[in-house]
Homo-oligomer: A and B are copies of this chain.
Amino acid sequence: MPPTRRACSVPTHLTTTTVDFLGTVPLFSGLSPDELSSFAELTRERSYPRGSVILFENDPGDSLFIVRSGRVKVVLIGEDGREVILGVLGVGQHFGELALIDEQPRSAHVIAMEDSSLIVLRREDFRKRVESSPAVAWSLLAELSRRLRRADDKIGGLVLLDVPGRIARLLLDLSEESGSDQIEKSLTHQTIAQMIGASRETVSRAMKEFQDAGWINVDRRRISVGSRQSLEQRAQVRE
C-alpha cells in the first residue's frame, strides 16, 4: 500500500495551508482563526521517511508533534528487541504532550510507519497557549482522558482475555474508529501481534478461525467485520 504522498507539499514552510490544517485538528477546535494563525507562526514542519525514529524513549524532549500526513507508531522496545505497540497515530493526531506537561523524559519511542510529515511546536510556545486558552486545555484533557481509558482497557484485556479475545476486541475498536465495518488501514499479522502482546503465529491461527467462522472477511490484507456480535461475544471473558 503506497504511502500517502501528495504531489504538492515538500518541506517548504507554507504558512497558509498550515493554518488551514491546524483548523482541522481536534486539539485546536474551538480556536478562532486569529488564534490559529498566531499558533501557526510558532510552528515548524519536518518530514520523516518511513521507519525513521522520531523520538527516543528517555530523551528529554520538549516538543509537541502533530501528524500532518502519514502514520506513526508509539512503541516500547524490550532489550531483547521485542516491540510493543502502544498506539498508532494518524493525520490530525498529536503526541509528545506528556513530556511537555510534566517535564519528564519521553516514555516511549515514536517511529514513522510511512513517510510522514509532522508539525512541531516547542514547549514554551505551547504552554503559554494552553494556559491562556481554556478551550485548548480542555481538549487536551479530553484527549488524555480518552487515552487513559484506552490504556486501562488494554490492561484489562491483557489480563482477562486470551489472544483471540484480544484480537476480537482490537478489531471491534478499529472498525468503530473507522466508522464502518471496513477497517481502513491494512495491518500485517505482525503488527496486530505487537498491538495485543502476542506472537505472529498465534495471530495467524486466530485470524484464520475468525475467517472460517465467517466473523470477518479478509481481502488482500483488508479486514472487514462480518458478525460484530460474534466478535463482541468472543471479546468477553469466558470461564
Contact = CB atoms under 8 A, between A and B. Distances in A.
B151 A141 contact: no
Interface string A180-223: 00000000000000000100000000000000000000000000
A54 interface: no
A104 B147 CA distance: 13
Given A107-B153, A137-B137, A237-B82, A98 B160 contact: no
Interface stretch (A7-15, A35-43, A73-81): A73-81
A79 B235 CA distance: 11
A148 B96 CA distance: 12
A239 interface: yes
B137 A237 contact: no
Contact of A148 (B147, B159, B160): B147
Contacts of A168: none
Interface residues of A, number: 43
A159 B197 contact: yes
Nearest to A100: B145
A53 interface: no
A79 B238 CA distance: 7
Interface in A141-156: 141-142, 144-149, 151-156
B152 A102 contact: no
A142 B153 CA distance: 21
6 contacts: A76-B152, A97-B145, A102-B146, A130-B141, A155-B158, A158-B197
Interface of A: 76, 78-80, 82, 84, 86, 97-98, 101-102, 104, 107-108, 130-132, 134, 137-138, 140-142, 144-149, 151-156, 158-160, 197, 236-239
Given A84-B156, A84-B160, A130-B138, 17 more contacts: A76-B156, A76-B159, A76-B160, A78-B237, A84-B155, A86-B156, A101-B142, A104-B145, A104-B149, A108-B152, A130-B134, A130-B141, A132-B134, A134-B137, A141-B141, A158-B197, A159-B197
